[in-house]
Chains A and B, each alone.
Chain A
Amino acid sequence: MRPFHLDNRGSRRYPSDQGMSKASPSLPYGTLDLLVLRTLIGGARHGYGILLQIHEASDNLLRIEEGSLYPALHRLETTGLLKAEWMISENNRRAKYYGLTAKGRRQLAEEERNWERVAEGVSRVLRFA
């Protein structure tokens, strides 16, 4: 099975940033935000850690365009869904760790509900149409 590429299409801010992964199937807008928020539920991570975690958790089914991740993280930070902190990483380097804020948790819960409703709706249509 070909992996889904999560590029800017998956983020709400740059829906028209085209041509980066036309060949891959894409996901609805906002998916990248949802995945990032979900990944951070277990605690703060740095950008590369978030990337690996999404790949791992989806059994490499979802691949994130690395170029899209950081703008998305910074956007989530400025809108207050994430809070960032510079900490010392596992390899003893300074790294920027992102964690959920209360607002981020609420947003995650809501987006999860939305996602489930949309997914259920889509799969019903696929089943019965």
Chain B
Amino acid sequence: MSWRRRLINTIRRRTLDRAIDDELRFHVELRAADLQRSGMSADDARREARRLLGNDVSLRDRTREADVWVGLETAFQDMRYAARTLWRAPVFTVAATLTLAIGIGINTAMFAVVFGVLIRPLPYVEAERLYALFQTSARAGRTRVTPLDFVDLQAQVRSIRVAAVVGNGFTFTGQGDPELAVGHLASGEFFDLLGSQPALGRTFGMADETAGNSDVIVLSHGFWQRRFAGDPGIVGRTVTANNRPFLVIGVMKPDFSYQGARYQFWVPLTLRGANPDKLPINRNSRYVQVLAKLNPGVSREAAAAELRSVAASLAQASPDRNGNTSFILSSLSEETVGGVRDALNLLFAAVLLVLLIACSNVTSLLLARFTVRRPEVLVRAALGASRGRLVRQFVIETLVLYAVGTLAGILLAMLLLNLLRTIGPGILPRITDIGLVMPVLGFACVTSLFAALVFGILPALQATRGSSAPIGARTATTDRSHQRVRAAIVVAQIAVALCLLAGASLVARSLLNLERVDKGFDPEGRLTFAIVMPAARFPDAPAMHAFYARLLETMATRPEFTGVGTTTAFPLSGQDLENSFAVDGYAAQSPDQEPVAALRGVSAGYTSAMGIPIRAGRTLAPADDQRGAPVALVNETFVRRFFGGRNPIGGRISVGGPEGPWRTVVGVVADVRHRALATEPRPEVLLPWVQLDAGFLTAWARGISFVVRSDLDMAAAASLLRSQVRQLDANTPVIELQPVSALVEQSVAEPRFRTFLLSSFALTSVCLAAVGIFGVLSYVVSERTREIGIRMALGARQRTIFREILAIGGSLVAIGSVLGLAGGIVLTRWIRGLLFQVSPADPLMLAAAALGLIVVALLAALIPARRATRVNPVVALRG
């Protein structure tokens, strides 16, 4: 109880003071009355009564100390005092607060990103038990699963539950313009595994699958709002997609998404028996994504072991297709955010270093400031303040400063996060999960409290050192010990800033290399777009052929288009399909050397429309059609890997197995960076699209991508080709229409974003370090004004003084740079994974970073050095 009463008394100080005064006054009055009764005069009695009570100020204080929480009360006093002192030194306060706000602000913002993207569990029930399941084989690496393998796996596996998911585009017609939306075909377990509840209606489940309810649809909240205007009666209505009626059974909540907001609806997927989407059901089309959830109490290792045995039994059942195949699990969160983890960790480490520099700058400022307040310290020490008491006061002043800096930093973080929300989508996953939530704010507060204590104790100790020294002792030179501390801080700052700068320059160099890498095609002056052929209207390959042929023909007649082509997998679009091949004359030494290559169906004009150079032989010709001989193009990597030294032209390859049909290689095309600019090209085979069989065509249900080369400006070319498509078929929407250069842009957006952030952080740190060196040298000059004055009066030349000050700065920079380079070489090794075609210890980049930093630091040192030469001996000596 006592602490509560003390707390109340501490807070209600004025009330307490008045009560004590009243009580003591009452005492004095009674005593005086008694004394008067015994014969004293009124005045004497009053005086005597006071005397007996003793020193009333001291008594009141001692009485009060019994009532209040002394530590807390003095802390309040110190805070008030600190606020007053800071208020009276606005330049210092603003400089320190800004520095802290920058350090804490970018830290908080960055932590919000790390927390939202990497730390927060995915927004599903028991998300830690969710995994993505892949099929692996030595030949093809990690791939999606074939439909029949999924069916068998699901029937056999006991330790996990699995759901099949296939992304697909559906054309919605009926209400308003025809629109192509991307959604998921998902098996009945899908919503159950995620544990997600709808906002309206219901989701579909196993019951729908067994009852054969394949014509139901669940809409995403965004899609419902946009296309159906948020119609509250949508559940129970029928919508038309791909010319099929779907019964709307539910709408998901606004925060539900799976693999991003791009996927806007969910439709049941049937892999047993005929499916209305005409997906190929076989053992070699690996297009099924599998979501897996560990059953309660099952460890990942146990599940992996069971998957191995299931794979083995599948291989026994059908040895032709499942040999060498296994299933592996990868955590769903890793699949979602794994791509940005390294970059985010690097950026977070970088902002911690920036915070380190910012805090040390504030420490340096505090050191200088507390030194100026030395007389105050000495007076208070002489009046009996203990060192601990003085240290506490300085620490509290630092805490107040950090508190203000933290508030400003959190405001800055809000601004930065708002900025991120406008530029982030498409660059960062889970962008909607990023925010200034409680744990993030807690992190900001704890970090700055920790920093305030660590970085505040040093100046406080320094300021109160030897507080018994005589007051007003005057010497020409002053105590240098705190200067040594500040010099050490500057050296450390330079070193850290150089590490950051080195890292940033390597990442920047990587970006440059990435942008300059030989892509294998020419993105300039080219447009790409896609149309999707709804299975219901184009049920078979001939129907699709007819439509594409007509479209290609129409466009080829327009003089505005100098090239037109199609492909089943556009570079950098994320579409890819790998297939096994047989190569005549190539014998694999081991199973993992069996020929596997990415397979594309392209039109005759594709390579020239895309600007892909032909290295040998010829490209595809219109004559290479169903009636012509089967032919193929291969890329350089394919030639290197599977033709050895032989001439590939005229060589024979076969999709699938050695039973054929064999295709003749008629040309070699340049390697295209298909998956990402930073990914090495893989073996690739280009087949005439018209020679593909119906199974392959329907497997690419998302559609065929077009490339159009035109000298028109892109907007004009776009509207022209839209009208061309519309003339041909008004119900076929043009989608994903964009310049090819935009795809390239997109693929470098994340590296560019990360480079931009890291460079900003590095530049911030360089600026802070420059401010640091400027501050220290300015202080050196102001402290040595008297000494410099004397020397100049004795004939020292300005140049000598100038060089001397610059030399101090120069030596600090030199030591810092050496340490920074050493640190840079060690630290940049960790970011090897983020570099592209540049070595972590690239001497050129390190030297450039060091040079840049040295120039900036010396520029910062110039100003105080010049000021030193302007010292007027007369003024200096009189002062």
Residues of A within 8 A of B (CB): 13-14, 46-48, 65-67, 70-72, 74-75, 77-80, 89, 91, 93-96
Contact = CB atoms under 8 A, between A and B. Distances in A.
Interface stretch (B19-27, B106-114, B708-716): B19-27
Contact of A78 (B5, B26, B30, B54): B5
Contacts, number: 66
B62 interface: yes
B62 to A, nearest CB: 4
B255 interface: no
Contacts of B20: 70, 74
Main secondary structure of the interface of B (DSSP, over half): helix
Nearest to B5: A78
B1 interface: yes
Interface stretch (B63-71, B168-176, B211-219, B789-797): B63-71
Interface in B1-50: 1-2, 5-6, 9, 19-20, 22-24, 26-27, 29-31, 33
Given A70-B59, A71-B66, A78-B5, A94 B30 contact: no
Given A14-B62, A91-B33, 7 more contacts: A47-B26, A66-B54, A67-B58, A70-B63, A72-B66, A78-B6, A93-B26
A67 B54 CA distance: 6
Given A71-B63, A74-B67, A47 B55 contact: no
B29 A66 contact: no
6 contacts: A46-B27, A67-B54, A70-B24, A70-B27, A79-B2, A89-B26
Q: By CB atoms of chain A within 10 A, which of B2, B27, B52, B54 has the most?
A: B27
Query: 10 tightest A-B contacts by CB?
Result: A67-B54, A74-B66, A75-B66, A71-B62, A48-B30, A70-B63, A96-B23, A66-B53, A71-B63, A48-B27
A95 B25 CA distance: 10
Contacts of B31: 48, 66
B637 to A, nearest CB: 84
Contacts of A77: 66-67
Contacts of A80: 1-2
A67 B53 contact: yes
B537 to A, nearest CB: 88
Nearest to A95: B26
B66 A48 contact: no
A47 B20 CA distance: 12
Nearest to A65: B54
B678 to A, nearest CB: 70
Nearest to B62: A71
Contacts of B26: 46-48, 89, 93-96
Q: Which of B9, B55, B62, B63 has the most CB of A within 10 A?
A: B62
B70 to A, nearest CB: 12
Contacts of A74: 20, 63-64, 66-67
Contact of B23 (A13, A47, A79): A47
Contacts of A66: 27, 31, 52-54
Interface in B676-712: none
A67 B67 contact: no
Nearest to B54: A67
Contacts of B54: 65-67
Contacts of A75: 66
A12 to B, nearest CB: 12
Interface string B185-214: 000000000000000000000000000000
B866 to A, nearest CB: 58
Given A48-B30, A78-B2, A67 B55 contact: yes
B266 to A, nearest CB: 66
A67 B30 CA distance: 15
B63 A94 contact: no
A93 B27 contact: no
Contacts of A70: 20, 23-24, 27, 59, 62-63
B48 to A, nearest CB: 12
Contacts of A78: 2, 5-6, 9, 66-67
Contacts of B64: 74
Residue with the greatest number of chain B CB neighbours at <10 A, chosen from A47, A65, A70? A70
Given A70-B24, A80-B2, A93 B66 contact: no
Most buried by B among A74, A94, A96: A74
B2 A47 contact: no
A67 B24 CA distance: 10
Contacts of B65: 71
Given A67-B59, A74-B63, A96 B19 contact: yes
Contacts of B27: 46-48, 66, 70
B45 to A, nearest CB: 14
A126 B799 CA distance: 88
Contacts of B30: 48, 91
Nearest to A8: B62
A71 B30 CA distance: 19
Contacts of A94: 22, 26
Nearest to A67: B54
A41 to B, nearest CB: 22
Interface string B270-302: 000000000000000000000000000000000
Contacts of B58: 67
A32 B155 CA distance: 87
B54 to A, nearest CB: 4
A43 to B, nearest CB: 18
Contacts of B9: 78
Contacts of B55: 67
A84 to B, nearest CB: 9
Interface in B368-413: none
A35 B532 CA distance: 99
A65 B62 CA distance: 14
Contacts of A96: 19, 22-23, 26
A65 B33 CA distance: 19
A93 to B, nearest CB: 6
Question: Which residue among B6, B53, B66 has the maximum number of chain A CB atoms within 10 Å of its CB?
Answer: B66
Contacts of B62: 14, 67, 70-71
A82 to B, nearest CB: 11
Contacts of A91: 30, 33
A13 to B, nearest CB: 8
A93 B5 contact: no
